[in-house]
Structure 1
Amino acid sequence: MTTVCFAGITGWTAPPIAAAIAASDDLELVAGVSRSAAGRDLRDVTGLDVDGWVHGSVVEAVASGGVDVLVDYTSAEAVGANARAAVDAGVHVVIGSSGLTADDYARLDAAARDRNVGVVAAGNFSVMAALLQRAAVLAAQHLEHWEILDYGSDTKPDVPSGTARQLAEALGEVRTPRPAVPVEDLSGPVEARGAEVGGTRVHSVRLPGYVVSTEVVFAAAGEHLVLRHDPGPTPTPYVDGTLLAIRRVPGIVGVVRGLDRLLFGD
């Protein structure tokens, strides 16, 4: 039985994932983390038939003992400290929060290897989002021009999203796209060309009505290929991927980035 602590237990993503954990024969939800619900009974907070408490911090939760895996769906501001606290305590981590950079993950990987624990991080735990990334990586092996559009709600503060950042960095491992006009030669504000992430131009759009949609546009002379993932208004698409990561992370040492790495075995 793998025991799980869910950081962000009162958040938008938590209800269907926590319910799926509680309903699983091989997983057990034993703790939660939420500053607003700290000190309350986990059963009362979630409405699930589970035993345990909600803690005010990850440090407190892992110090209480009995946690095998921390699942983090908190915020860009909190996820780094949460993941490091769990790793330092010898607890495996599944990261569903955005905000960490490639350098952040490199440092976390070193810490995880030192403590002999695993970390699985995905900008998006949707299986369809993972398929988009795999298809985009395949396309980048044959095409030389692309840019990413990253859509999020008007209240989403982190740019780009974790999904878009992870996609850009994965494409950068294949090749750097052929550049358009260099930013230093542009006429007008360079911000109009978006940010460079892993060699790719990424444009973040923040408008009401979006959750996290990701689009990558490939181009060649006379043609375009557009790959896009649009999640619905609920966190249901993230359940299966998160549970897969929880089950797989105890067998990992160091950081594995991307649900596609678990789905496709590389």
Structure 2
Amino acid sequence: MIKVIVNGACGKMGRAVLKAVSDDKELELVGASDIKGGMDVGDLIGSKKTGIIVNENLQSVIDTAYPDVMVDFTKPDAVFSNACLALKNHVSPVIGTTGLSDEAKDKLNQLALAQNTPAFIAANFAIGAVLMMMFAKEAAKYLPNVEIIELHHDQKLDAPSGTAITTAEIISEVRRPMKQGHPDEKEKLPGARGAEINGIPIHSVRLPGYVAHQEVIFGGLGQTLTIRHDSIDRTSFMPGVVLACKKISGLKGLVRNLDKIM
């Protein structure tokens, strides 16, 4: 059994992870932490009492639960220090929070190597989202004019999403940087054409009612191709989280994105 703790257990994603880990036969939920704390995990996932009480102190949970893996979907300003704490205690972090800088990721990789404790981070844990990115990379070989629209709930803190950035980076592996649209086009309002990565425009939508959605739109002579993925419920991310918990022990350093372990 792989022993797992969940940090940020009281959040929406945290609760979904608690249930996914509890329901899996190869994983054992041994602890939970959150800045709120005090409640039984069973109350968070709608089951009978588990005896696992959410602790406000992550170090205390690590010291008492002896976990192998920590799953963390907290905020970008907290997840880096959480992951460092886990690695220093030889606990492998599985990180689902986007917004970490490249510098922070590099530091986590160095610490993971130094501690001989692997770490994992993914822009998106939904299997369908990974397939969307793979398909987009293939399409870009033949239809290099492309734009990305990502749509998320209005409580998401970072824009563009990590998934959109990763998609643009993956497409850029097979598509040379290029300026799209009319060479003389002008924005009447700043930002009207979106953000840009290697000439690929990215547009972010934030509205209540959405969970996580993305369209990759390709344009060619007399045709368009749209590849779209929709997460209509947070359970869509759980198979990927569970897979990462099971595969992380065989990794080295910081490994990025789900396609590396699928």
TM-score (norm 1): 0.87
Give the equivalent residue in structure 1 for 2:252.
253
Contact 2:148–2:216, Cα closer than 8 Å, also in 1 = yes
Q: Give the drift of 1:171.
A: 2.3
- Look up the equivalent residue of 2:110 and give its one-letter code: A
Distance 2:94 2:5 in 1: 10
Rounded to whole Å, the distance in 2 between the matches of 1:15 and 1:187 is: 43
Specify every segment of 5 or more residues in structure 1 that has no aligned partner in the other structure, as ranges. none
Q: 1:173 to 1:101 in 2, by over 3 A?
A: farther
Aligned mates of 1:65, 1:198 — CA distance in 2? 45
Q: Indicate the SS of the match to 1:166.
A: helix
Residue 209 of structure 2 corresponds to: 209
Report the Cα distance in structure 2 between the residues aligned to 1:110 and 1:199, rounded to whole angstroms. 31
SS class of match (1:132):
helix
SS in 2 for 1:192: coil
Structure 1 position 44, deviation (Å): 5.2
Shift in alpha-carbon separation, 1:35–1:206, aligned structure 2, 3 A: same
Percent identical among aligned pairs is 34
Distance 2:48 2:226 in 1: 42
1:68 counterpart residue number: 68
SS of equivalent to 2:135: helix
Residue equivalent to 1:168? 168
Q: 2: distance between equivalents of 1:168 and 1:50?
A: 43
Cα distance in 2 for partners of 1:131, 1:256 equals 18
- Aligned-partner Cα distance in 1 for 2:155–2:183: 29
Report the equivalent of 1:31: 31
Q: Counterpart in 1 of 2:229?
A: 229
Q: Residues 199 and 251 from structure 1, CA distance in 2 versus in 1: closer, same or farther, beyond 3 angstroms?
A: farther
Q: Secondary structure at the match of 1:229?
A: strand
Is 1:195 matched up with 2:195?
Answer: yes
Partner of 2:12: 12
Give me the TM-score of the superposition, normalised by structure 2.
0.88
- Show CA shifts across 1:4-62 (max 9, x none): 0101211112334322322333211111111111x544455544564544222434433
Q: How many residues align?
A: 261
Deviations 1:155-189 (A, max 9, x none): 32211122222222222333344212699973534
Q: Report the CA distance shift for 1:42/1:210 in structure 2 as closer, same or farther (over 3 A).
A: closer
Output the aligned Cα RMSD. 2.5
Q: Name the amino acid aligned to 1:28.
A: E
Most deviating of 247-256 and 48-57: 48-57
Deviates more, 1:220-229 or 1:56-65: 56-65
- What letter is aligned with 1:256? V
Report if aligned partners of 2:178, 2:198 keep a CA contact under 8 Å in 1.
no
CA contact (8 A) 1:146 1:177 kept: no
Instruction: Assess if the C-alpha contact under 8 Å between 1:150 and 1:204 holds in 2.
Output: yes
Give the distance between the partners of 1:173 and 1:61, measured in 2 at CA. Answer: 41
Q: 1:1-266 to 2 correspondence within 5 Å? A: 1-37=1-37, 39-43=38-42, 45-46=44-45, 47=47, 50-64=50-64, 66-180=66-180, 186-197=186-197, 200-232=200-232, 234-263=233-262
Provide the rounded CA distance (Å) in 2 between the counterparts of 1:18 and 1:66: 17
3-state SS of paired residue (1:238) = helix
Deviation string, structure 1 residues 192-225 (Cα, Å, up to 9, x no partner): 1222246532111112211111111122232211
Which one-letter code corresponds to 2:257 in the other structure? G
Q: Could you tell me how far apart the structure 2 residues matched to 1:195 and 1:124 are?
A: 20
| Distance in 1 between residues matched to 2:13 and 2:218, nearest whole Å | 31
SS in 1 for 2:84: helix
